[in-house]
Amino acid sequence: MTYLDHGATTPMRPEALAAYTAVLADTGNASSLHASGRRARRIVEESRETLAGVLGARPSDVVFTGGGTESDNLALKGLYWSRRRAEPGRRRVLVSAVEHRAVLDTVDWLGRAQDAEVELLAVDAAGTVRPDTLAAALERDPDSVAVVSVMWANNEVGTVQPIAELATIAHRHGVPFHTDAVQAFGQIPIAVTDEGPDAITVSAHKIGGPIGVGALVVRRGLAMEPLTHGGGQERDIRSGTLNTAGVAAFAAAAARACAEAPQESVRLAALRDDLVRRVRAEVPEAVLNGAPLLGDGGGGDGGGGDGGGPGPHRLPGNAHLTFPGCEGDSLLMLLDARGIECSTGSACSAGVARPSHVLLAMGVDEAHARGSLRFSLGHTSRACDIDALVAAIGPVVERASRAGALAGTSGSMSGT
C-alpha cells in the first residue's frame, strides 16, 4: 500500500501509541477526587502543559474537545452567541469561501437558525484571502460583525493564509478572529501571540495522534458560550468526561511533530516537489492548484509567493493536481486498485458527487474541478511512495481519459 492521504489522517506515532495504550490500561475519571481520579487529572494537566508549550499558549488557554469539527463548532457558535448576547446588532459572520465544511456548515446553520448574516470572503486564484478583502468587508459596518474565521492552511490545495495580517485587521475593528489550524499544526509554525488569532482549532489525528481528540486554544478573557452543558469541565466551555488516554497521546504526538517540524518540512517539501515534477513529466497537461512551487512559472494559477520548500505560502506535504478530461473519482479508484491511496479533496466530503467548492472559489471551472486529486505527505512518506505513484499515474490517467471521452460521447448522443 502506498499511502498519500495524510491530509485525511496520518498513522499514529509510536510515542502517541505508547502513551495511549498505557493510559487505557489504567482506570480513572479526571473529575474524580480519589487516587485514580487524581492520577488521571495529573495526566490531563501535564498533557495540557505540553500542548500549550508547543503552541506558545498558557495551559489555561487549552480547551480539550473531541476533534477539529467540535472545536470549529464551539468557536463559531460560542463566539457568535456571546457577541449577540452582549451586542444584539452583531449579526455578521465573515468566513473565507474555501473553509472546511466544519466551518461552512456551522455558519450556514447560524444563518438559517440563529439569524446570522453570513458573508464569504473571496479568494484569489491561489486560494488566498487578501488582507484588503477582509478590511473592506469589515469597514462596511464593523459594529455589525460578530466573528471572523479564516483557516490557517487549506485542507485541499494547501495554501497558507496571511493569518497574522488578517487577525490584526479584525482586532483593529474590535472583532474576535478564529482560525482552523488543523492542517497547519505540526507542519508549519503555529504560535499563540497577543496579535494573533483569539481562538485556534487543532486536532490530534493529523499529527500522529488518535482520532477523536482535539483542542480549541481560547485566549484568556474571550467570552464564549458553551455548546454542551453538564459537569463544567474545561473552564465550563466544554462539559463532558475527558478522554484521558486521547489527551495523553495528543500531547505526545504534538511534542514529537513540532520538535521535528523544521527538518521534516524541508524533507516533505522536497518529496512534494519531486512528486509534482515527475507526475507532470508523465502527464504534461496536469495542472498544480494553489500557490506555485519555487521556480515554477506555471501550473500554480495564482500568486502567493514562492511556496517552495518549507516556505510560508503552501503546506510542505501538499500537492493538489488537476488532470483535464478525467473524473477525480475515477482516478482515485483506479489508483486505489493499484494500491495507491489519495483523495479528491476533504475526506469529510468523500462520496459526495460535486466539484470542490475550494477550486470553484479559486475560479477553476467545474469540469476541471471534478478532475482533481490531492496527494498529501506525512511522517511515514518515503521516496518509494513517489516512485509508485509515478509508475502508475500515466496509465491511470490514460484509462480515465478514455472513460471520460466515452461518457461524453454517450451523453452527447443521448441528448440528440
State the first-to-last Cα distance of the chain, in angstroms, to the nearest integer. Answer: 44
- The amino acid occupying position 384 is C
Cell numbers describing residue 127: 486560494
* Residue 377, C-alpha cell as written in the block: 505527505
Residue 1 Cα to chain centre, angstroms: 24
Helices within 98-214 (DSSP H only): 101-113, 131-140, 163-172
CA atoms of 84 and 81, how far apart (whole Å): 5
Q: Is 238 left (phi over 0), alpha (psi -120 to 50) or beta?
A: beta
CA distances from 185 to 2, 89, 154, 257, 378 (A): 24, 34, 12, 9, 12
Reduced to 3 states, what is the DSSP secondary structure of residue 318? strand
Contacts of 353 by beta carbon, 8 Å cutoff, 6+ apart = 329
Cα-based angle 317, 179, 299 (whole degrees, multiple of 5): 40
As a whole number of angstroms, the distance between CA 161 and CA 315 comes to: 10
Angle CA 48–51–55, to nearest 5: 135
Longest Cα separation, the chain: 77
**For residues 345 and 159, what is the distance between their CA atoms, to the nearest angstrom?**
13
348 assigned to active site: yes
Active-site residue (options: 258, 326, 342, 348): 348
Q: Is the dihedral of CA 392, 323, 348, 83 positive or negative?
A: positive
Contacts of 84 (CB under 8 A, 6+ apart): 90, 91, 114, 146
How many angstroms separate the CA atoms of 350 and 344, rounded?
A: 8
DSSP reduced 3-state for 67: coil
- The residues that are catalytic are 348
